[in-house]
Chain A
Amino acid sequence: MTVSGDRLGMPDDHPKAASVGGRAPDAARPALTLTDAEVLGVDDIVVSLGGRRVLDGVSFALCPQEFVGLIGANGSGKTTLMRVVLGLLKPDSGSVRRADRRVGYVPQKVAIDPDIPLRARDLVALGVDGERFGLRLPSRARRARVDEMLEAVDATAFADGRIGELSGGEQQRVLIAHALVGDPALLVLDEPLANLDIRSGHEIVELLARLKVERNLAVLLSAHDMNALLPHMDRIVYLADGRAAAGTVGEVVRSDVLSELYRYPVRVLDVDGTLVVIGGHEVSVR
């Protein structure tokens, strides 16, 4: 198992399965096409910021209905990678291939003034066409779409409340609804669990797992603790120091793989189902 520079963990019958272990034959393929199965392809992204290599050759891909966790500590480059995927930041080299349809984005920090006169349903309505200029007339079709989306994320109860007064978990649902109402193929969430308590966090993860099937969605979300995602995560992209290892949890979250990724001795412990990654010297058992 190697890290960075490879696309790992494809389903066995995937045409690229043969590429594990070396530079893929598709390196010759023009960069802008996706295979039918893929929703997102990220190739060899390199980003330097302020003189530091934040991302050093990161590659991975997503297929529909895949739930992929982008895991890494603060400073590992998660947010930068997210911004590259969303097109908010141009990488120094490498490319991002996205299916044509819009990407749904749930940002981490949303400056929601508690007194802002905006209801949950207003925010979701902005998800339909919030970037368009021009006057917008009330439309029954749009209202129906908004209602349907609020229902899908279990937000109908507080649809008419001020956004600023919702709890963290409730706001998160509304933002997800906003992102999904445009019917994207890919949903990207930037640290959605960061400010939630454990229970709300679990509820959001379950919601996402449900939505990915209901809406034929690929979900990419970043977090610094993978354990909350373990029950539902299909694959993981593990970031350390700007380098990434992608694959299933079983393939990636192992002492040898992560040690190579970190370029430092690292151990992975399984404590009753919870995975713990700790730095440490090689322990030889006598």
Chain B
Amino acid sequence: MSGFFASDPVRTALVAGGLTAVVSGVVGVFVVLRGQSFAGHALGDMGTLGGSAAYLANVSPLWGYVGVGAVVAAAMELFGVQRRRERDVATGIVLGATLGLSALLLYLDSTSSSTTGVAASVLFGSLFAFAPSALPETTALAAAALVVVAAVFRPLLLSSIHPELASVRDVPVRGVATVFIVVMGVTVSLASTVVGTVLSPALLVGPSAAALRLSRRPGAAMALAAVLGIAATWLGVTLAYASHDWPPAHQGWPISFFVVAIVFVIYAVTESVGPRAAGRGRPDATVEAQTPLAGTPTAGTAQVR
């Protein structure tokens, strides 16, 4: 076990993973409160384009994720809310096109350069290969995200819980929303370096959703989400390290699998066992906004979206 902490990649992984988990936990609480997990998923997938472009341009993938993430995020907020159905279709189509383009870039990368396993790294992460030289910018981005959230905390909270009330109290709801979604873009980028673009939503919303089940106060939920996220990430790193000799391939299991599986277990446990504390006592405007206008009082049958 002494080899574990002595290993450079492991230490780097723990630091990068820990930072990311903290930011994801904090930002993720708002993502869940605002019902924006699909947006998080879309941002993650779009980051694939940034990551594959970055590899092609020989730049750190983090900047690729951030570049695409921030731009797309702002665009999403600006193009605003049309009919929800139509917006989902449009988002899906754009996702498909970006993923298709990513496929091309990944292919070109595999034929032009000597780096192997780019697709796997971008999509599913390769935390043990995280360059220590990228730690300073990772720390800077993480710190920036947390500072911004702290700065807009109360307006963000109010407009997440009750947008109309926030408007009445002179909160610039639209502006705050745009700022938040850019922060989301940055957070998803960080998560993508840890578990890959495709799995980043799990790190973003999993610990936070679990924390919200256990605590109804946003501040406490954020702290708890950060702790759960760190636990999942560090445990994932440990298990991945230990799995080096495991069957069947004896080359280690992917970190991202462990992290996501642990997050899932945490979520499942809190969902079935935890008190329903998070849902009671306040008007959950985001939940109401998502349930369809019911002309009838009975639940009836729900349509799969």
Contacts and interface: CB of A to CB of B under 8 A. Distances in A.
Contact of A80 (B85, B293, B297, B300): B297
A83 interface: yes
* Range, interface on chain B: under 10
A88 B294 CA distance: 14
Contacts of B295: 79, 107-109, 190
A54 B293 contact: no
Nearest to B298: A89
Interface string A239-265: 000000000000000000000000000
A79 B85 contact: no
B293 A49 contact: no
Interface in A79-98: 79-80, 83, 88-89
Contacts of B85: 113
A54 B296 CA distance: 12
A79 B295 CA distance: 8
Interface string A180-222: 0000000000100000000000000000000000000000000
Contact of B297 (A79, A108, A190): A79
A225 B296 CA distance: 19
Interface string B273-295: 00000000000000000000101
A248 B183 CA distance: 64
A146 B45 CA distance: 48
A49 B296 CA distance: 11
B85 to A, nearest CB: 7
Nearest to B294: A109
Interface string B216-247: 00000000000000000000000000000000
A190 B85 CA distance: 25
Contacts of A54: 297
Nearest to B295: A109
B293 A83 contact: no
Nearest to B293: A109
A88 B295 CA distance: 13
A80 B300 CA distance: 12
B249 to A, nearest CB: 49
Nearest to B303: A111
A80 B297 CA distance: 7
Contacts of B297: 49-50, 54, 79-80
Contact of A79 (B293, B296, B300): B296
B13 to A, nearest CB: 48
A136 B297 CA distance: 35
Nearest to A79: B296
B77 to A, nearest CB: 25
B288 to A, nearest CB: 16
A50 B296 CA distance: 13
Interface in B84-127: 85
21 contacts: A49-B297, A49-B298, A50-B297, A54-B297, A79-B295, A79-B296, A79-B297, A80-B296, A80-B297, A83-B296, A83-B298, A88-B296, A88-B298, A88-B300, A89-B298, A107-B295, A108-B295, A109-B293, A109-B295, A113-B85, A190-B295
Interface of A: 49-50, 54, 79-80, 83, 88-89, 107-109, 113, 190
Given A50-B297, A88-B300, A190-B295, 5 more contacts: A79-B297, A80-B296, A83-B296, A88-B298, A109-B293
